[in-house]
Amino acid sequence: MKKYFREIDEKDIECLVEIEKAFPNPWPLKAFFLEMEGEFNKSIALCIDDNLIGYIFYSEYLDEININHFVIDPKYRRMGYASEILNKLISGMTNKQLLYLEVHTKNEAAINLYKKHGLRIIRTRKNYYSLGEDAYIMQLDRKEEL
Domain presence at residue 96: yes
- Domains held by the chain: number: 1
pLDDT at 131: 81
Average pLDDT estimate for 15-26: 86
The answer to whether the predicted template modeling score (pTM) of the entire model surpasses 0.85 is yes
In angstroms, the CA 54 to CA 129 distance is 22
pLDDT reading at 8 higher than 80: yes
Domain for residue 146, yes or no? no
- The CATH number assigned to the domain holding 11 equals 3.40.630.30
| More confident site: 94 or 35 | 35
Residue range 113-141, pLDDT digits in tens:
999 999 999 999 999 887 888 999 999 99
Percent of the chain with pLDDT over 70: 98
Domain presence at residue 27: yes
How many beta carbons lie within 10 A of that of residue 139, not counting itself?
17
Flag whether 48 is in a domain: yes
- CA 48, 54, 59, 61 dihedral sign is negative
Tell me what the mean pLDDT of segment 92-118 comes to. Answer: 92
The predicted structure's pLDDT at residue 145 = 64
CA distance 66 to 139: 9
Q: Write out the residue range of the structural domain in which residue 137 sits.
A: 3-141
Residue 27 has pLDDT above 60, yes or no: yes
> Is residue 98 a part of any domain in this protein?
yes
Work out the pLDDT band at 44, boundaries 50, 70, 90.
Answer: very high
CA distance 22 to 85: 20
